[in-house]
Amino acid sequence: MIPKTISNETSLRPIFDVAIIGGSFAGLTAAMQLARARRNICVMDAGKPRNRFALTSHGFLGLDGKSPTEIRKTAISQLMAYPTVTMRDGLVSHAEPHAGPHDSDMRFDITIEGSECITARRIILATGVRDILPDISGMTERWGVTVLHCPYCHGYEVRDEQIGVIATMPQSSHQAMMLPDWGPTTYFTQGVYLPDDETSAKMAQRGITIENSPVVALLGTAPTLEAVRLADGRTLPITAVFTGPKVAMPSPVAELLGCAFDDGPQGPFIKVDASQETTVPGIFAAGDAAAARHNATLASAAGIMAGFGAHQSLIFA
């Protein structure tokens, strides 16, 4: 099936049933549902998935230990077997709605930077988020290997090692409470996120060491980690660090389209309902961009719901 075209001032522009912005776990899962529903879809991807720094993905049923890159390549290969799927490489730099008198007439114009403009009847935003790491020497070059964020994704791989938690928010103490199940844990408050008396007592029961002198540098040959240097000059042996980076939207598209946001502990995320529809009719969102809790399996599950929601909105508009 070939997408219909509509004329604009200078050319014929393809029109798709659904445009999916973002081609990682959430976006590709949403695309699969729509491809199997025989809808003409276009998946646009800038080629910078959030998980590109991780060597392996864990906890994903049937794919444990596979690299995120390998998972995406397999998914794209399977997706492209469906004749109604189009893929475009590039960053979506602009999008704007053109609503008709009825929901069924809804249209969105989407611009791929330096490439082309397409039109779609529905949009799924699966852009992920951009991580903003603490401003500590040695963090960036270790991100995804020995500087980590999810105990369930990476805790097993650093089991029985000396684990540190660098606090970035009040909820960091919750992260620290989980980690002794994988290894001896030190909670670095950074002199800011000190636990209250009750939490301190619970940490003591879990065998967690609380350190108030801030971490100022990570030591060793990156991406490995051997120790951390503290502001008071001490050096402590630590071989893996967990932290909660702040997050930001990597693309202005959701804001340009008028989608509302909720505030999460790490940063904003797109507000959606039970069908993953945003506050703008016809626009859906899934994955890390639309959830406070970030996990590959949860992203894929949300992608399924967004695919279902977009498809059914085309039918029942």
Non-local (6+) Cβ contacts of 253 within 8 A are 21, 92, 94, 95, 125, 127
Q: What is the mean pLDDT of residues 42-60?
A: 86
Examine the pLDDT at 314 and tell me if it is beyond 70: yes
Structure tokens at 187: 């909670």
- pLDDT recorded at residue 102: 59
Examine the pLDDT at 100 and tell me if it is beyond 80: no
Considering only CA atoms, which of 36, 40, 32, 45 is closest in space to residue 5? 40
> What sign for the dihedral angle of Cα 295, 297, 299, 302?
negative
β-strand 85-89 against 92-98: which pairing, if any? unpaired
Q: Look-up: residue for tokens 């879809």?
A: 41
Q: Between these two residues, 174 and 317, which has the higher pLDDT value?
A: 174
Distance (Å, whole) CA 225 – CA 179: 17
Q: What is the mean pLDDT of residues 48-64?
A: 83
Distance (Å, whole) CA 252 – CA 152: 30
282: left (phi over 0), alpha (psi -120 to 50) or beta: left
- pLDDT recorded at residue 98: 74
- pLDDT recorded at residue 228: 98
What pairs with residue 241 in β-bridges? 147, 164
Examine the pLDDT at 73 and tell me if it is beyond 50: yes
Structure tokens at 149: 């964020």
- pLDDT recorded at residue 8: 45
Q: Between these two residues, 205 and 93, which has the higher pLDDT value?
A: 205
Q: Look-up: residue for tokens 């776990």?
A: 25
pLDDT digits (tens, 9 = 90+) for 208-246: 999 999 999 999 999 999 999 999 999 999 999 999 999
Considering only CA atoms, which of 75, 6, 83 is closest in space to residue 41? 83
306: pLDDT confidence band, cut at 50, 70 and 90? Answer: very high
Q: Global pTM? A: 0.90
2: pLDDT confidence band, cut at 50, 70 and 90? Answer: very low
Distance (Å, whole) CA 317 – CA 315: 6
Examine the pLDDT at 6 and tell me if it is beyond 50: no
- pLDDT recorded at residue 9: 43
| Helix, strand, coil percentages for the chain (3-state, nearest 5) | 30, 30, 45
Non-local (6+) Cβ contacts of 64 within 8 A are 57, 58
- Identify the three-state secondary structure at position 149: coil
Examine the pLDDT at 260 and tell me if it is beyond 70: yes
140: left (phi over 0), alpha (psi -120 to 50) or beta: alpha
Please state, in angstroms and as integers, the Cα–Cα distance from residue 282 to each residue in 5, 143, 144, 225, 291, following that order.
20, 36, 35, 46, 19
Centre a 10 Å sphere on the Cβ of residue 150 and count the other Cβ atoms it contains: 17
- Identify the three-state secondary structure at position 77: helix
Examine the pLDDT at 295 and tell me if it is beyond 80: yes
Determine which of 70-74, 105-109, 179-183 has the lowest per-residue pLDDT on average. 105-109
- pLDDT recorded at residue 169: 94
Determine which of 22-31, 104-113, 138-147 has the lowest per-residue pLDDT on average. 104-113
Summary mean pLDDT of the chain:
91
Q: What is the mean pLDDT of residues 103-126?
A: 87
- pLDDT recorded at residue 101: 56
Non-local (6+) Cβ contacts of 212 within 8 A are 189, 191, 194
- pLDDT recorded at residue 5: 46
Non-local (6+) Cβ contacts of 234 within 8 A are 213
- pLDDT recorded at residue 58: 86
Q: Are 134 and 245 in contact (CB under 8 A)?
A: yes
- pLDDT recorded at residue 99: 59
pLDDT digits (tens, 9 = 90+) for 205-215: 999 999 999 99
Domains annotated for the chain, with CATH where assigned, are 4-130+246-316 (3.50.50.60), 134-243 (3.50.50.60)
